[in-house]
Amino acid sequence: MAAMPETVRNAWDRRDGPAILTTVSKDGIPNSIYVTCVGRFDDETLLIADNHFDKTRANLLSGSAGALLFRDDGGTPYQVKGALERHTAGPFFDHMKGWNPTNHPGHAAAVLRIEAIYSGSERIA
C-alpha cells in the first residue's frame, strides 16, 4: 500500500470538477464513469459513494482493481491506482454516509486502497 504524499493531499483538497473512476469487468472490458461523491478516508484510502453504480458495481463485486483520475485547480492531473473493495456497513460506509449528500442513496462505499499514484507519467508514490 502507498501513502498519499503531502503534495497529492493538497491537490486532492483542491480538486477541480468530477473525478473519473475506471474499473474492469471479469471479461477484461474497462468501464469509466464520472464521480463527484468522493472522499479521503486516510492517506492510504479513498472512498467513492455508490449512488448509482451498475457496471461499476458488478466490476467491484467481481474483484476489479481500479484507477481514479482527478485534477487540481491548476489543471495538474493525478491518477491513483489500487485494489477496490465494496462496503455496505462499517467505518468506511459510515464515513461515506457522513459526507455523501442526503438526497443520494449511498448504497455502498467503494474503497480504493492506494497502491500507486502518478502525475502524468511520473510515479509519485
Distance CA 93, CA 125 (A): 26
Distance CA 3, CA 79 (A): 14
* The pLDDT of residue 92 is above 90: yes
1 pLDDT band (50/70/90 cuts)?
confident
Residue 92 corresponds to which amino acid? Answer: F
Taking only the tens place, the pLDDT of each residue in 45-85 is 999 999 999 999 999 999 999 999 999 999 999 999 999 99
124: left (phi over 0), alpha (psi -120 to 50) or beta: alpha
Q: What is the DSSP string of 64-110?
A: -EEEEEEEBTT--EEEEEEEEEEESSSHHHHHHHHHS-TTS---EEE
Q: Are 109 and 96 spatial neighbours (Cβ–Cβ below 8 Å)?
A: yes
| pLDDT score for 38 | 98
Distance CA 55, CA 72 (A): 27
52: number of Cβ within 10 Å? 12
Taking only the tens place, the pLDDT of each residue in 12-41 is 999 999 999 999 999 999 999 999 999 999
- Give the domains, in start order, of the chain with CATH numbers: 6-123 (2.30.110.10)
